Amino acid sequence: MVKWFEEMTDSKIYILDVTNRDGVQTSRLGLAKLEKTILNILLNRMGVHQSELGFPTTYHEQNYINANLELQDIGVLKPIILSGWMRALTSEVELAVNRCPKLKAINLSISTSKQMIGSKFAGKMSEEDVIKNMTAAVRRAKDLGIKKVGVNAEDASRTSLDYLIKFALAAKKAGADQIRYCDTLGYENPFRVHFRMKDLTKATDIPWEMHCHNDLGMAVATSVVGAKGVLEEGQDCYINTTVNGMGERAGNADLVSTVLALKYGAEFDELGMLDPSIDLSKAWRLANYASYAFKVPIPVNQPGIGANAFAHESGIHADGALKDHKNYELYDFEVLGRGETILLETGRLITTGEYSGVHGFKHIMGNFQYEFKDDEEARQVLELVRYANVQKQKPLVQEEFIFIAEYPQIAKRILTMTPPEITINRPYIEPELIKEEKKEKRFEKAQVQKDMLTRT
């Protein structure tokens, strides 16, 4: 047993997944609202503590967020905590509560580094102004009934330790429940972050979140080692992850890799630091659903989930794995929910899309052992399935079919996209290119007529 194990407390590392907020910000990619909902359901089944489900101040997120909060009310999304992200402005807090009144957990974000305060705010805000705006937003959130308020220090890894401590203490005094250490550019490294997180936790005595990007390929390592520093000072830590490491630029800390590191990494495996609610057996299905939804294949060498994660070819490795898989496998593939037989249809295939009929739809649902009480019920669900196909622009999968059939009213709300009122009313203006083309044609026609007159 490692020496510092005796100094550890009962504090735990919890997973706060941000796929539905940070992951969907991946350039040129995105998720339909139904897909974000299914991800929340699968994250909940895996025992993830919290899902940052989106932007409650963004108009097109409103129906989706309120529908997911309704799913929480009826027990479908429990015990997972659903939280929203917004800027640390009182106006955004008020707007979020107005649009999503059942929302009870939020994270407020504001830049803290000299680089961002100077460049992003262009001299309009000082370090003191940042703290003033942030604390006002925290107090307003608490006044409006928000139960859990996290405060994000954007670009924390490039912010001085002294200012971070001052910022965190002000947030705590205003009523914040935890502080997010944002390694926004993936600049942080595992060696430095351990001591920074120990110092920050010791000075502030408040739980911290680790939010690490992967620009230098160290997001998982930095998250895990930083979290260990927080726990060593007696506070819980919340590691921000995304499924399959999705996220802006090079992505974020991968959910499955993070959990595997905490469960099977040297010395970590002895400490039991990870939230015991995590069920790794749900990882395989979750990761593959996210791959389908984002339309991004899982790399063959992805830890735990990739096609080669348990593949052996060289003679020495194959021989050793066949004698005892523990020779060359750190953990069993069954732990991740792998090993089930997957049936692929190689003959006649019936699919359901935006133009499908009830007969084919009932056939597909029958493959999932799902029956409707009558054709009318099937027709109504099929109509929602058609709308889902229009929004997703790709075939639905089993989890989506079953969800729509089981919760048709909530599914309808998720699928409803009504743009805000638009007051712009521009008169039709003929494009200049078309004008030029018409002008040229008139000139050519006039020239032809002139030539005919000349010949006569």
SS3 155: coil
**pLDDT in the model for residue 427:** 75
Q: So what's the pLDDT on residue 343?
A: 74
200 and 273 both lie in a single domain: yes
**Are 378 and 285 within one domain?**
no
Instruction: Single out the residue of 409, 360, 420, 355 nearest to residue 381, CA to CA.
Output: 409
Shared-domain flag, residues 102 and 188: yes
pLDDT given for residue 433 in this prediction: 66
How many domains does the chain fold into? Answer: 2
* Residue 195: inside a domain: yes
Domain boundary among 294, 315, 335: 294
> Three-class SS of residue 426?
coil
CATH number reported for the structural domain that contains residue 77 in this entry? 3.20.20.70
- pTM listed for this prediction: 0.91
Q: Are residues 285 and 365 in the same domain?
A: no
Whats the size of the chain, residue-wise?
456
Let me know whether 277 and 131 are in one domain: yes
Is 223 in contact with 212 (CB distance < 8 Å)? yes
422 contact partners, CB below 8 Å, separation of at least 6? none
25 and 142, same domain (yes or no): yes
Based on the fold, state whether residues 368 and 285 are members of the same structural domain: no
- Does one domain contain both 243 and 391? no
Residue 33 lies in a domain: yes
In-domain check, residue 316: no
The whole-number pLDDT of residue 1 equals 43
Cβ atoms of 180 and 152 within 8 Å: the answer is: yes
Residue 313 domain flag: no
Mean pLDDT by 10 residues, the chain (456 residues): 56 98 95 98 98 97 98 98 98 98 98 96 94 98 98 98 98 98 98 98 98 98 98 98 97 98 93 96 98 97 96 92 92 94 82 92 94 95 97 95 98 94 79 72 76 69
Q: Residue 247's pLDDT is what?
A: 96
Q: How many helices, marked H, and strands, marked E, lie in the chain?
A: 17, 8
SS3 239: strand
* 290 and 368 co-located in one domain: no
Segments forming the whole domain that contains residue 408: 358-415
- Classify residue 340: in a domain, yes or no: no
Q: Indicate whether 91 and 194 sit together in one domain.
A: yes
**Do 277 and 386 belong together in one domain?**
no
Answer whether residue 154 is part of any domain: yes
* Domain match, 382 and 242 both: no
In a domain, 317, yes or no: no
Whether 86 contacts 55, CB under 8 Å:
yes
Within-domain flag for 445: no
